[in-house]
Amino acid sequence: MNSISPGRATPRDPDSWADLVSLRALIISEIRELRGGRPILPVAGGWIEVRGRAMATGLGDWDALIHHGPGGGRPIGAAEALALMLDRLSRQHGAQGRALARRVRASRQRIAAIAAARMDRPDGPPDHLTAEQAMIAGHWMHPCPKALSGMTLPEERAMTPDWRGALRLRLLSVVSDLIEATAPDLARDLPGMDIDPGPGRGLLPVHPLAWDRARHDPRIAALIAAGAVTDLGPMGPGWWATSSVRTLWRPDSPWQLKTSLPVTITNSQRVNRRHEMLAGAAMAGRAGALSGRFGPLRLVADSHWMTLRPVSSTHLTLPTIA
């Protein structure tokens, strides 16, 4: 689990732990953005005081949560404090507040479920993949750090790092004129994909979730019907989802893959925009020019990208990262 210490002790019960880390993220966001750093949180009938050691870098461990109301102050637990804060969001901030409260609750439920599963299945050896799969509490200063929508529960469990998901890429054979890429044969560098796509055609790997959604787009369906795009099915070995969900990793691949997904994580959809891909490739060239000038320092760059040319939606984009 994450090394977050919301109070002086971390409970072993997944629900209590989820309450604590969810409350901590919400408190950090509110104190930082709305309260000018003061640990006083207005709620219905009074306010919550966060007592603990002040730290210049943010919220430290707290000693107690005190609810101040008409009857004076009383200590409360994380679950009650979280409920009071979400109630105020729902009541005082209209539709946006209610939507945010729903996302916070959904995030908290995911954290509890993942934590429970991890107690039964401890982390593996301390390597890159274990570290990428360890972020089960999410972003420490986001109000809904593990909110996720756009996947079914089976898809989430198969394709996210929270459940240690691994997936096989979907491989498309595409008429060459319809592929836009920094290198036309880039896909053949990936494990298990050095195959012949056919004369006048190229290979385009796609995240299986993105393909499942995109193939129903009328523009994509028309290309499939015309034979311009042929689905070759799952291809190559499995890839592991890293902490960003859309970035995929294999130890024997020269690249990580940063895929576009029609999925909302926290509060944004993880889609690769064309201008971002162009900028990434340009910056990779600049970073490469610095290679060797600063000792062992190495910059991770978005060196290459691929996409299906005529589709304005970027759901089929598959850039790769060095």
Is residue 285 predicted with pLDDT exceeding 90? no
- CA 176 to chain CA mean position, Å: 32
**AA letter at 165:** G
Is residue 314 predicted with pLDDT exceeding 60? no
| Span 15-25, average pLDDT | 95
- CA 275 to chain CA mean position, Å: 21
The string of DSSP letters for 192-234 reads T------TTEEEEEE-HHHHHHHTTSHHHHHHHHTTSEEEEEE
Asked if residues 65 and 77 have their Cβ atoms less than 8 Å apart, the reply is yes
Handedness of CA 138, 142, 148, 153 (dihedral sign): positive
pLDDT in tens, 207-248: 999 999 999 999 999 999 999 999 999 999 999 999 999 999
List Cα–Cα distances, 130 to 135, 205, 240, 246, 296, in angstroms. Answer: 9, 25, 11, 17, 24
| Span 40-65, average pLDDT | 85
Read off the pLDDT band of 310 (50, 70, 90): low
Helix axes 78-92, 14-33, angle to 10 degrees: 50
